Chains A and B, each alone.
Chain A
Amino acid sequence: MVALHPILIVVAAGALVCVFARAALHKAVDPAMFAHTMNGYRVLPRAAVQPAAFGLIVLECAVVLGLIVPTTRPYAAAIGLVLLVLYASVIALNLARGNDHIDCGCGGAGQGLSWFLVLRNAALATLCLVAMAAPLPVPMTAAAWASAAAGILSFLLLFAGVEKLIDNWSWLRASNRAFEQHHHEGHH
């Protein structure tokens, strides 16, 4: 297994804790809405959606707690990786089926699906891989912790900014689509 500097691992784990905590909170606060979103993805039979939704919330909570404790970190990161790859494949599957106007369930205004979301998940999956790595035997000094904190904060801000841009793009695409639809009709 690759060994990495502990600062990198702490940054990756810290960022993932925040991302998964937000995801779990967002789902747990409104489980009915989450189940409805899952229905939109059309991968599970209706009866299986409720238990699966509950299972995902539990897994996400487990990932958050597991990432905080250093001994369980690699396992939690592995579960997180599986979840992210699962979400990305389900999104990709629906994109391939052309079922892209459903709500992605990413929170916010209700954006549709796009390949940006698959890319976003791939980036997060890379962070999981970093969090799974073994730390080099280097002591974490105060300066290292400060650096890690700044790294986590920067990552979260960057993530929030990129998410906002994807959201905006989804709106732009919606108005473009309305235009194309018109154009198409206009020529017949």
Chain B
Amino acid sequence: MEPLVVAVIVLWAIVIVLLVVVFALARQVGILFERVAPMGALMTDAGPKIGEHSPRFDLLTLEGKPLVLGPPSPKNTLVFFLSTTCPVCKKLLPVLKSLKQAEAENLSIVIASDGDALEHGAFRRAAGLGEFPYVLSRDLGMAYRINRLPFAVLLDREGVLRGKGLVNSREQLESLLNAQDLGHASIQGWIEARTGERALN
């Protein structure tokens, strides 16, 4: 074989391996963003923005009771999007239950998903989610651009979007609520603001 041919074969192999490495690195950065990065509910910039009025939704719960998402609401509303097959969602269900008790006075929690009502009914019984309103709506998920689960959306009493993001852990779910208390869109906003203040001092 000519040396040039050998060189080309070797170079192609190296190029392809390098490109695989680049892709893997980019993917890992993305995963870091989602999971390991500083606690806080990460946001994508698709969907309604923080501070915007959320569209109003007239929904039916699994039992067929009407449920309105939107103003005026007596409490803040946390909409938790899950699927029956997502392991992280199941991990967060106990957190949701304790949150419901701890924040009963000013937070109502709604569970949202889409798909087969029978399957979700069975999941709801199995997971002991009887006390949560449970809605199946494709439109709701599409309006908030939910592509990855579990995802949480926080609305205030006036129906204004106060926080949203992927929640992969208890800390992220809590930070979404803390962000509301602190008046920041996300915990990253709070951390960066603190860092900025310190730099100024």
Q: Does B188 contact A (CB under 8 A)?
A: yes
Q: Contact between B196 and A181 (Cβ–Cβ < 8 Å)?
A: no
CA–CA, A150 and B105, complex, Å: 62
- Summarize B's interface: helix, strand, loop or mixed: helix
Q: Contact between A181 and B19 (Cβ–Cβ < 8 Å)?
A: no
Q: Contact between B46 and A111 (Cβ–Cβ < 8 Å)?
A: yes
Q: Contact between A161 and B193 (Cβ–Cβ < 8 Å)?
A: no
Q: Contact between B19 and A157 (Cβ–Cβ < 8 Å)?
A: yes
- Least distance between A90 CB and chain B CB atoms (Å): 16
- Least distance between A86 CB and chain B CB atoms (Å): 21
> B residues within 8 A CB of A150?
12, 15-16
> A residues within 8 A CB of B44?
109-112, 170-171, 174
- Least distance between A156 CB and chain B CB atoms (Å): 9
A158 is contacted by which of B19, B47, B50, B145 (Cβ under 8 Å)? B19
- Least distance between A153 CB and chain B CB atoms (Å): 6
Which residue on A lies nearest to B52, using beta carbons? Answer: A101
Q: Contact between B193 and A154 (Cβ–Cβ < 8 Å)?
A: no
Q: How large is the interface on B (under 10, 10 to 19, 20 to 34, 35 or more residues)?
A: 35 or more
B33 is contacted by which of A112, A147, A171 (Cβ under 8 Å)? A171
A173 is contacted by which of B22, B30, B45 (Cβ under 8 Å)? B45
Name B43-78 residues within 8 Å CB distance of A: 43-51
Measuring CB to CB, which residues of chain A are less than 8 angstroms from any residue of chain B? 32-33, 36, 100-104, 108-112, 143, 147, 150, 153-154, 157-158, 160-161, 164-165, 167-168, 170-175, 177-179, 181-183, 185-186
Measuring CB to CB, which residues of chain B are less than 8 angstroms from any residue of chain A? 5, 8, 12, 15-16, 19-20, 22-23, 26-27, 29-30, 33, 42-51, 138, 142, 145-148, 183-186, 188-190, 192-193, 196
If A101-B45, A112-B44, A179-B189 are given as contacts, then 4 extra A-B residue pairs at C-beta distance below 8 Å, sorted by A number, are A109-B44, A171-B45, A183-B196, A185-B183
